[in-house]
Structures are given as C-alpha cells and as structure tokens.
Amino acid sequence: MENKLAVLIDGDNIPSAYITEMLQEIAKYGNPTIKRIYGDWTKPHLNKWKNVLLENAVNPIQQYAYTQGKNATDSAMIIDAMDILYSNKVDGFCLVSSDSDFTKLATRLREAGKNVIGIGEKKTPEPFIVACDKFIYLEILKNQDKEVESKSSSKTKDEKKDDVDKITPKVIKLIASTISDVADEDGWAFLGDVGSLLQKKQPNFDSRNYGFQKLTPMINSINQFEIESRDNQKGRHKLIYVKNKE
C-alpha cells in the first residue's frame, strides 16, 4: 500500500516558483493526501502563491500575524502537524520550510514513528536538516524546461558549475566508509544498501546536489571506487555492486 503523506508548506519563506517540481518530487515517496500551506494571505508578498494553489490542489490556511516580530505561521503549522499525527491518517510528513523552528517538530514526528521528509533551500540550518529522515534542496528541483531555465541560460559555464556542489574529499570519505560498513567479505556492497545508509548518515545527501541524477554515475565518476553489475534472478534489472579500490 502506498504511503500517505501530509505536506505542510511554510508559505512565508518558500518561493512559489518551485511548486510543480516540489509536488512531483514528493509523489516519489507517497501519496500526498493532505496538502496545506500556511501564511497571512492578506499580505502582498504571498500573491504569487495564490495563483498556483488551485491548480495544485493545495489548501491555504490563513494565519494572521497577531504580534509584530513573531511568526504565527510556524505555530499554526506545528499545531496542525500534531493534530494530524494524533489522527493517525498519514504514514509520514513532508515539511517544506527553510526555518530551523521546525527542528523540534521533525524530531517529535520521528519519535512517533512517522517518516519525515524535509524540503527547503540550501540556506536551511543544519539542525533542521539532520532532524529529518531525508532532506531535499529546492535548488535541485529546478525544471530546466520552464522559467528557471530562461533565467539561468544567460549564465556562463563557470557560473552554472557554481550551482552544483563539488565532490570534496569529505564526500568521498563518507561514501568509502559507507561502502565498508555494508560490504561483504570480498569488499563488495550492494549499491541500494549503500544509498540507504548514506541517507541515514546524512539526510541531505543527494547525488543531484553534485550534478548527477543517480548515485551510480556519481560513484562511477570517482576513480576511487569499482562498480560491477550482476544478473538479477528475480527481475530484468541488473544489480549494481560497488567496492573501494585497494
């Protein structure tokens, strides 16, 4: 049975331009049966969101700013999340925000046995990222066939490279140690197990952050690892195994 997800969006600090790509990404992990976005809809800065809510079936939740300098949107979103948790109608949550104020909420939802996916911009503080089971950066969800492409097309090749994180020695060390953790006696590790453990170690690990759509080509681009494909007796797809070079 497909996982049911509650998608809760902090409208105050998430750009509306990402809505289509964001919902397409969320659909990979389950069925978003609840989709809500929080904000003060009397404010002009949320006008762009209003235009895309209906076509994406996202329910806007009005939250007035009762006190200046206080974020009432965060409180409303947290209260709703707990109500949904206790209703036991979903298997997991997708918290869309770049705000560290949701760190405790993510931790509490996971303590209750719910899977928590975080989505936010690269400026998101580390505590919120590590509080989630998985964290996805909005920047990698850009749809190159739409408006974002026209904005980036004027960039030079060097500027486009800057949009992609570099594979640093620290990243290579993380991959190498993870392969060792799940490897058999001959040093070979099933790539699926490697990917799962990488996600647990570092929730924001995603090959797309480094310009690769999948983990296999990313690892293949690093000459420190060996890759081997093996026949799968249970299906047509090959099984990919990786190994640290000696």
> What pLDDT, in 10s, does the model give residues 118-141?
999 999 999 999 999 999 999 998
pLDDT of 94-122, one tens digit each? 999 998 989 999 999 999 999 999 999 99
Would you kindly state where each structural domain of the chain is located, as residue ranges?
Answer: 4-152, 169-244
The rounded Cα 88 to chain-centroid distance in angstroms is 23
Domain 169-244 belongs to what architecture? Answer: 2-Layer Sandwich (3.30)
Task: Give me the pLDDT at residue 159, please.
Answer: 45
Q: Running DSSP on this structure, what letter comes out for residue 2?
A: P
Tokens of 46: 């949320």
Distance CA 36, CA 29 (A): 17
Q: Quick check: 106 and 116 in contact, CB under 8 A?
A: yes
Domain 4-152: state its class.
alpha beta
Is residue 174 within 8 A of residue 219, CB to CB? The reply is no
Among 1-5, 131-135, 186-190, where is mean pLDDT lowest? Answer: 1-5
| 169-244 shares the fold of 4-152 | no
For the beta carbon of residue 165, count every other beta carbon within 10 angstroms: 16
pLDDT in tens, 132-173: 999 999 999 874 344 344 444 444 444 445 457 889 999 999
